[in-house]
Amino acid sequence: MKIARCAVSAMIVAAFAVATADAQSLKVRERMLDQEQELIHDAKSTQRECEANFPIAFDWTGAPEDKLASFSQEAYCDAALMALRRVCVDKLGKKAVQDKVKKVTCGFGAERAVSLKDGALEYKMSYPSTDNADFVYKYLENNL
């Protein structure tokens, strides 16, 4: 039963991704792919530092297409990952991340926000914003 639910969930996600991709220009899809490729290095670094293997991904829903070329989504997402790496510097922080963070998603919002619910750390980026790593780090300090 659990496998069937996972398969259905995967099909829904795949169908949504295809529908979303069809609605976007080639230029936008290329930018998204480029940013996802750049995020891989940041994800590996975070997983290595935290000694954890949680998935890290973008949620492109609501991405402001007119700003994708002007801002580095990878850099904004890496700010959240940098905050995680800072938490993982000591044993207590590393243990907290290992116990409480099961996946990380970087998405887009009208305002910058971060939340941790049921193991899902969600960072909503908003353009332009500064001190993003500190913003996420302060949240993690108080919520892990």
CA distance 98 to 117: 14
Write the pLDDT tens digit of every residue in 82-111.
Answer: 999 999 999 999 999 999 999 999 999 999
The answer as to whether 130 is a domain residue is yes
The answer as to whether 87 is a domain residue is yes
Q: Look at residue 23 in the predicted model and tell me its pLDDT.
A: 61
Record the pTM.
Answer: 0.78
Tokens of 51: 């000694």
Q: How many domains does the chain have?
A: 1
The answer as to whether 20 is a domain residue is no
Average pLDDT, the chain: 84
Query: Residue 116 in contact with residue 144, Cβ under 8 Å?
Result: yes
The answer as to whether 19 is a domain residue is no
Give me the domain span that covers residue 126.
25-143
